[in-house]
Amino acid sequence: MLQNPNQIPIQKVIFPDSDISNVFVLRLDAIDPYLGGNKYFKLLYNIEEIKKTEYETIITFGGAYSNHLAAFASLKNNFPNKQFIAIVRGDESMVEKSPTLKRLQKLNIEINFVHAGLYRELCNNFNHDYFHQFKNSFILPEGGSNDLAVKGCSHIVELIPSTFQYVLLPIATGATMAGIISGLPSNQIVHGIAVLKGKEFLQNNIEYARCNDCESVKRLSSLYSLTELKKIPDDSIDLICTSPPYDNIEGSGYSKQQKDVLFLKLYSDFM
């Protein structure tokens, strides 16, 4: 775990020309420029799994600007004798435009470019013939989201003060939200914002991850898409969604009741 949890600041969000004073940001991105944010927690127990088993090859997936790939690359120094492979959706022309892919190359991480159809097949089927070319491999899912990631993300709760009634975070695969829900007291409410299309699959992902915890599943009512957020009346929901990383959202809801809201900043802006 973190050697010094105090390195993660909680910053107050200032809204010019507004009397809103109860919104704060937990800067998980301050842990590390590349291995920070939720990726630190997602990889926590996956690293332990890699250490205790003699895997020769570590494989994962991502796009050209994936913060998961950036975090994955940071593990290379811990395992210099293992082969690291990134399966990337797209082609080699993307390297010139992507700081993330350039860094992977610099760290001697093998990049295998595949077309979108094959990429999706590989993400969904770890028994695919494609993987037979790699010896004794450990496959880390897209976004680093697996059961070990959910377990790691449960530790984020240790950094969330009990004074915050609402916790708001962006979600892609749902693993981080599932982990937080599993450890958060029942008087604190988690609101997830889907940053990708397909909110329904996220609901299924989170419920699957928390299928043994009925109370956690019941607390998943606040899962919004960015489009839905823009349509929420100002007086219909007890949170505000106009601070980073969603400072371009207009018309998102806020109740007049003064209840503290904590945003989780999950990534650095290096990409």
pLDDT digits (tens, 9 = 90+) for 189-239: 887 777 665 545 455 554 444 444 434 433 443 444 444 444 444 443 333
Query: What value does the mean pLDDT take over residues 66-72?
Result: 93
Check if the beta carbon of residue 157 is closer than 8 Å to that of residue 188. Answer: no
pLDDT given at position 200:
54
Tell me the CA distances in angstroms from 153 to 125, 162, 185, 247, one per residue in order: 24, 17, 15, 25
pLDDT given at position 73:
95
pLDDT given at position 263:
72
The more confident residue out of 38 and 247 is: 38
Helices and strands, number each (H, E), in the chain? 9, 10
Q: Is the pLDDT of residue 2 over 60?
A: no
Query: What value does the mean pLDDT take over residues 142-149?
Result: 92
pLDDT given at position 187:
80
Could you give phi then psi for residue 41, rounded to 5 degrees? -75, -35
pLDDT digits (tens, 9 = 90+) for 148-158: 999 999 999 99
- Return the ∠ at Cα 75 (arms to 69 and 79), rounded to 5°: 135
pLDDT given at position 184:
83
Distance (Å, whole) CA 203 – CA 187: 21
Tell me the CA distances in angstroms from 255 to 63, 100, 233, 238, one per residue in order: 38, 40, 10, 5
The more confident residue out of 138 and 188 is: 138
Give the percent of the chain with pLDDT over 70. 71
Mean pLDDT (the chain, rounded): 77
pLDDT given at position 122:
97
The H-assigned helical ranges of the chain are 38-52, 67-74, 99-106, 116-124, 147-153, 175-183, 199-209, 214-218, 226-230
Q: Which of 30-44, 54-68, 88-102, 241-255 has the lowest mean pLDDT?
A: 241-255
